[in-house]
A = this chain, B = another copy of it.
C-alpha cells in the first residue's frame, strides 16, 4: 500500500527521518486533495491561493507569489481565473498605486469555507493512530509550526 517499502532515511537524524516521512505521507495522500479540487473545480495553485487569502486581510499580488512560491508573472494568470469566477477582486492599494490588493468576494469566502471544511473533514493518514499518539503528534506539530 505504501509507496515506499521502508523508511527512506532510517539512518538519518530523527528530525530528518520525520521530515522525509511527512513528505512521503503528504505526497501519497494527494489523491484526497485532488478529489476536493476536482469537486470544487479548483486547480492546486488556486486551492493554495484561496487558503492563503484570508477574509479581511488584503494581499498584494507579489505577496501571494511569495506564499505560492512561484514567480509573480504566474500569479497574474491564477488570479485572472479566480477573478473571472467572481471569487476575488483586484483593488488598487491606497498607499502605493503600483500595488494591487486581492480581496475575497462573498462567493470567494463561501468557497474558501467549503474548501477548508472538505479538507479538514475527510479521512487522513493519522486516523490509524490511537488517541494518545494523535494528541501528542498534534502538540509536537504545533511547536514545529510555531504555534507553541
Query: Contacting chain B: which of A21-29, A78-86, A98-106?
Result: A21-29
Q: Which of B1, B3, B137 contacts A140 (CB 8 A)?
A: B137
Q: Which of B6, B69, B121 contacts A31 (CB 8 A)?
A: B69
Query: What are 25 A-B interface contacts by the 8 Å CB criterion?
Result: A2-B147, A3-B52, A4-B52, A8-B116, A9-B116, A9-B120, A14-B131, A14-B135, A15-B137, A15-B138, A16-B120, A16-B121, A18-B126, A18-B134, A18-B141, A19-B126, A20-B120, A21-B141, A21-B145, A22-B25, A22-B141, A23-B26, A23-B119, A24-B145, A125-B145
Is A134 within 8 A of B8, CB to CB?
no
A93 to chain B, nearest CB (A): 20
